[in-house]
Amino acid sequence: MKDNIDFAKEPVGKLFRQMFLPTLVSMVSMVVLNITDGAFVGHGVGSDALAAVNIVAPLFMIMGGVGLMFGIGGSVVASIHLSRGKPKVACINVTQGLITGFIIGTVIATIMLIFKRETCLLFGSSEALIPLATCYLKWIALFMPLCILANIGMFMVRLDGSPRLAMWMNLMAASLNLVGDYVLIFPCHMGLEGAAIATSGSYGLEGVATLIYLLFFSRTIKFCRIKLSYKSLRLSLRNTTYQMRIGFSAFLGEMAISAMFIVGNYQFMRYMGEDGVAAFSVCCYLTPICFMFGNSIVQSSQPIISFAYGQNNSERIVSAMKINLLTAVCCGIIGSAFVFLASNWVCSTFLPPGCRAWQLANEGVPLFGTCFLFVILNLTLIGYYQSTEKNIHATTFTILRGIVLLLPAYIVLPRQFGNTGLWLSQTVCEFVAFIVLYIFYKKFK
């Protein structure tokens, strides 16, 4: 599964194709994992269970955020070191990022397991949904450290020149979740707990597989032994802090999704009740599809841009960004068109047709889908700043789209335009952020 990839000499377009297609398939498999989980829960357990899953959904964003922070940060640093002929330094940075991400995941999981009820209430749960939400949260938190390892490890496997292997690892996890969801929910009658075990277990096995690859089968990026002397630990802290600075905007991006889920849960509960949260959960399952395209573009081009940045080759960076933006526009238009044309089928995938939650979702999902184009473009532009170590720019724009614009949109628009404004809040937020981002990019690139 190892590909013969030369980031220094091969044409940018060829490199992007070699990276993008396997990465996109990997992302599709993970989206299938999430959608499958929601479909089985919605039809096999009920709309309240689907709403409970949506309450816990920010936990997935926290896992993804920590994974992206160390995945992007470690991959950018390692790419630059590799471009300058320092493979050992690259491996040390990768190992430090993996270990730190695992420790952070363990700490967060422990806190959430101790305060399960309080966590669910913080995420917007009602008292009626607490038993279901805490049941689901327990299993997701138990496997959280391994899930973070999987998220970080996928970046390193691609950087090692094996994007197809990363793709097959993701496909393995998606397949295991598909089979596990069906078996545990229907024949075993384990309900929401079965869905949680299938989802968290498949992620966990992917984390173990990634670790085995980096230990025994990798070509350049290897998991190496870290010294425990005071000087070594101080250097490790310095290196991981720098990785966190580079990848912090990616972490904030996932936290922005969490903020959207939490604020959306509160607002939909306020305006439409539990059925409104169940309807909103359909959008929350669609959101990863949107981010799938954006993250595929960013993760595919990141080693190309970072490698060229390490060599001070601005021509290759500009070529990569032209390809990125064109791909983002195409993917955004396709995604929005699909949601608009297939909203009836999409809603029926998660909810029994005819119920109130399905009716609310069928009215609102096409409106929500209009944000896809701007989300993908924003992720692509922010990814450029991450790949070139401009972490302040990336962090600033992520805060703009994820916090500064998000909260007012979800609070003000429903008051002015009712349910329509609530469904369009994300689109307005992303559109304004894109205008600001694009003007800045064109003026200062």
Q: Give the pLDDT confidence of 360-379 residue by residue, as tens digits.
A: 888 888 888 888 999 999 98
- Which two three-digit tokens encode residue 435? 């205008």
Least confident of 1-15, 299-313, 407-421: 1-15
Q: What would the mean pLDDT of 62-73 be, rounded to a whole number? A: 84
pLDDT at 106: 92
Domain boundaries, the chain: 12-444
Q: Taking all residues of the chain, what is their mean pLDDT, rounded to a whole number?
A: 83
Task: Say what angle helices 87-114 and 47-83 make with each other, to 10 degrees.
Answer: 160
Residue-wise pLDDT for 269-300, tens only, equals 888 877 888 888 888 778 777 877 888 888 88
The DSSP string of 41-107 is HHHHT-HHHHHHHHHHHHHHHHHHHHHHHHHHHHHHHHHHHHHTT-HHHHHHHHHHHHHHHHHHHHH
The answer to whether 69 touches 296, Cβ cutoff 8 Å, is no
Question: In 3-state terms, what secondary structure has residue 390?
Answer: coil
pTM to 2 decimal places: 0.70
Per-residue pLDDT tens for 420-439?
888 888 899 899 999 998 88
Q: How far apart are CA 20 and CA 26, in angstroms?
A: 10
Identity at 299, one-letter amino acid code: Q
Task: Specify whether the CB–CB gap between 344 and 362 falls below 8 A.
Answer: yes
Predicted pLDDT of residue 110: 92
Cβ–Cβ contacts within 10 Å for residue 416, how many? 8
Token pair recorded at residue 19 = 């990276």
* Amino acid identity for residue 24 in this structure: L
Q: How far apart are CA 22 and CA 9, in angstroms?
A: 21
| 353 within 8 A of 47, measured Cβ to Cβ | no
Contact 211, 153 (CB under 8 A): yes
